[in-house]
Copies of this chain bind each other. A is one copy, B any other.
Amino acid sequence: MTLATTPQTTAATCEKLKCKECGAEYELQAKHVCEECFGPLEVVYNYDTLRRTVTRESIQKGPNSIWRYRPFLPVLTENVIDVGTGMTPLVQANRLARRLGLKKLYIKNDAVNMPTLSFKDRVVSVALSRARELGFSTVSCASTGNLANSTAAIAAHAGLDCCVFIPADLEAGKVLGTLIYNPTVMAVEGNYDQVNRLCCEVANTHGWGFVNINLRPYYSEGSKTLGFEVAEQLGWQLPDHIVAPLASGSLFTKIYKGFQEFVKVGLVDEKAVRFSGAQADGCSPIAQAFKEERDFVTPVKPNTIAKSIAIGNPADGIYALEIARKTNGNIESVNDAEIIEGIKLLAETEGIFTETAGGTTIAVLKKLVEAGKIDPEETTVAYITGNGLKTQEAVQGYIGEPLTIEPKLDSFERALERSRTLDRLEWQQVLV
Contacts and interface: CB of A to CB of B under 8 A. Distances in A.
A185 B403 contact: yes
Given A347-B182, A353-B153, A405-B186, A109 B117 contact: no
A84 B95 contact: no
Nearest to A345: B182
A209 to B, nearest CB: 16
A207 interface: no
A166 B416 CA distance: 15
Tell which of A5, A157, A159 has the most Cβ of chain B within 10 Å: A157
A3 B90 CA distance: 6
Given A159-B95, A189-B404, A405-B189, A348 B181 contact: yes
Contacts of A65: 89
B94 A399 contact: no
A269 to B, nearest CB: 17
A424 to B, nearest CB: 14
Interface string A317-355: 000000000000000000000000001100111111100
A407 B179 contact: no
User: What is the count of identical protomers in the complex?
Assistant: 2
A152 B181 CA distance: 30
Interface stretch (A43-51, A290-298, A387-395): A387-395
A386 to B, nearest CB: 11
A234 B409 CA distance: 48
Interface string A147-184: 00000111111110001001010001101110111101
A245 to B, nearest CB: 19
B112 A177 contact: no
Contacts of A112: 84, 112-115, 117
A91 interface: yes
Contacts of A9: none
Interface in A107-129: 109, 111-117
A58 to B, nearest CB: 16
Contact of A201 (B87, B89, B177, B409): B409
Contact of A114 (B89, B94, B176, B190): B89
A231 to B, nearest CB: 11
Contacts of A395: 176, 180
A4 B92 contact: yes
27 contacts: A4-B106, A64-B64, A65-B89, A83-B89, A83-B351, A84-B89, A84-B109, A89-B114, A95-B159, A117-B389, A156-B347, A156-B348, A163-B416, A180-B388, A181-B348, A182-B344, A185-B402, A186-B405, A188-B405, A188-B407, A189-B405, A194-B407, A197-B407, A198-B408, A387-B389, A389-B389, A389-B390
